[in-house]
A and B are shown apart, each in its own frame.
Chain A
Amino acid sequence: MPEEKSSKSANPAPKNIKQIDPTNLGITWTDGHESVYKVRHLRESCPCANCIDEWTGVKRLDPNSIPENIRPTKLHSVGLYAIQFSWSDGHDTGLYSHDLMRKLCQCIECQ
């Protein structure tokens, strides 16, 4: 029997997800990494089919159309692989996979 299973060893997953302050979200990952996200950056990076063209991958969302004071209202897990955000502008169709969330990390180490 193989010792390691690719499904759990391959990519880190969020271990703890919390609100740091009104504009920052924090995630601690299973590999120990700590990410801090500006919520506006997350809204701008929404991967849903309204914000990113599904066929061409071109961004359709105009960042200037996002209200200045954008905030999440609620977030919850989807299955075992993604996080869904509901935003104060009413948008809620984006499923942010854990892999995407990790890519969006803006710490010095990741960028």
Chain B
Amino acid sequence: MSDQELQVNIIAELKTVIDPDLHKDIVSLGFVKNMEVKDGNVKFQVELTTPACPVKEQLKTECETKVSAVKGVKSVDVEMTAEVRAAEHSQPILTNVKNIIAVASGKGGVGKSTVSVNLAMALQMSGAKVGLMDADIYGPSIPKMLGIPITPPKGGADNKFFPHEQYGLKVVSAAFLQKEGVPLMLRGPMLGGIIQQFLQNVEWGELDYLVIDLPPGTGDVQLTLTQRAPISGAVVVTTPQEVSLIDAEKGVRMFESVKVPLLGIVENMSYFICDGCDKKHHIFKSGGGNALAEKFKIPFLTDIPLVSAVVEGGDKGVPIIMADPSSPATKAYTKLAGQVASQLSIIHADKDKPASTFELNWEG
């Protein structure tokens, strides 16, 4: 059999490898790239839509097994790569940012900033270029959690400024715009002004993902962001108690009413694992996040355990995902990043999307 014929057989075999999220085979999805077949030795790349793909290894093994089984194949070399697909948007802001993820909650104190920081780090550690915007103007806590000293941002041309950088993440926060410990006391219009600055004047460079840590609730900042920023999807964080779930539901409804796709629900502080055993103690009840996700028919992304090391990590400025790779919380955050990335890929693959942003000048 010639190498050419062999290649045809290999492609046919790869057409049986289905991406479990996108429900299509990897050949039709255009994931298979640069195939070389020489004397029965096969080499190709599989380009996924995110480096954080939770089924990367599974797909690689499936490709190797199936191609090896093709008659005439002597060796198989599969390289897994990723090119993050961009959301389509024509708003003249954040044009070099491929995906914008809003992290929200109805209620404060559910660990939204902790989730944002660790989610951003998990995406970054998967190999993506990631930015983190601390949109909690009144209570900015991201710099503390990442151990970034409070210094004014470096200015650029045209009123632009550069984000701070830490652990490979690019970060903007209102904390950098004020003296440490001094509260920002602002009325609504000023608040919107700061958010507008964050959207228009930051030199992010190219980003695969921009994670926006929203303040709690459904107020000015959330509205300005949903009206001005082309948000690709929102993650709603809740804790298992009913009082938190009631407000999380409001958060979900807010995003529904402004048509921002919901990537799913995260249940934080879901259970406690003590030092002595592996038993999960559901101290604040359990299953609420899952029930909320089912009610709105949106994905339940993951539950995150209550681990004291998470708090220590936040206070020391080293997120748990970096401080302790073996922590159950780290595993949960890695899973979360994978789920968020695949939900975004699913949204981008949806052909029936509404028109993105438009402007029309009326004639006559």
Residues of A within 8 A of B (CB): 1-2, 4-10, 13-19, 21-22, 30, 71-82, 97-98
Distance in angstroms between the alpha carbons of A75 and B297 in the assembled complex: 33
Asked whether any CB of chain A lies closer than 8 Å to the CB of B167, the reply is no
Flag if B361 contacts A74 (CB, 8 Å): yes
Closest 7 CB pairs of A and B: A13-B354, A81-B259, A22-B364, A80-B259, A76-B359, A81-B258, A72-B362
Asked whether any CB of chain A lies closer than 8 Å to the CB of B352, the reply is yes
Distance in angstroms between the alpha carbons of A6 and B361 in the assembled complex: 33
Chain A residues near B259: list those with CB within 8 A. 7, 13, 79-81, 98
Asked whether any CB of chain A lies closer than 8 Å to the CB of B5, the reply is no
Number of A-B contacts (CB under 8 A): 98
Q: B227 touches which one: A8, A10, A75, A78 (CB < 8 A)? A: A78
Flag if A75 contacts B258 (CB, 8 Å): no
Flag if A79 contacts B298 (CB, 8 Å): no
CB of B89, distance to nearest CB on chain A (Å): 9
Chain A residues near B354: list those with CB within 8 A. 13-15, 30, 80, 98
Chain B residues near A6: list those with CB within 8 A. 256, 262, 296-298
CB of A43, distance to nearest CB on chain B (Å): 12
Chain B residues near A14: list those with CB within 8 A. 354-355
Please, how many residues of chain B have a CB less than 8 angstroms from a CB on the other chain? 35
Flag if B355 contacts A15 (CB, 8 Å): yes
Flag if A7 contacts B262 (CB, 8 Å): yes
Distance in angstroms between the alpha carbons of A30 and B261 in the assembled complex: 15
Flag if A5 contacts B360 (CB, 8 Å): no
Flag if A77 contacts B299 (CB, 8 Å): no
Q: A80 touches which one: B231, B360, B361 (CB < 8 A)? A: B231
Asked whether any CB of chain A lies closer than 8 Å to the CB of B226, the reply is yes
Distance in angstroms between the alpha carbons of A17 and B231 in the assembled complex: 21
| Among B231, B258, B299, B353, residue most surrounded by chain A Cβ atoms (within 10 Å) | B258
Flag if A2 contacts B360 (CB, 8 Å): no
Chain B residues near A18: list those with CB within 8 A. 360
What is the 8 Å Cβ interface bit string for chain B, positions 333-364, against chain A (1 contact, 0 not)? Answer: 00000000000000100101111111111111
CB of A49, distance to nearest CB on chain B (Å): 14
Distance in angstroms between the alpha carbons of A19 and B361 in the assembled complex: 9
Flag if B362 contacts A73 (CB, 8 Å): yes
Q: B355 touches which one: A5, A16, A81 (CB < 8 A)? A: A16
Flag if B362 contacts A77 (CB, 8 Å): no
Distance in angstroms between the alpha carbons of A38 and B230 in the assembled complex: 29
Chain A residues near B356: list those with CB within 8 A. 77
What is the 8 Å Cβ interface bit string for chain B, positions 265-298, against chain A (1 contact, 0 not)? Answer: 0000000000000000000000000000110111
What is the 8 Å Cβ interface bit string for chain B, positions 131-149, against chain A (1 contact, 0 not)? Answer: 0000000000000000000
Q: Which residue of A lies closest to B358 (CB)?
A: A77
Flag if B260 contacts A1 (CB, 8 Å): no
Chain B residues near A2: list those with CB within 8 A. 293-294, 297-299
Given A15-B355, A18-B360, output 4 extra A-B contacts at Cβ < 8 Å: A2-B299, A5-B297, A7-B298, A81-B226
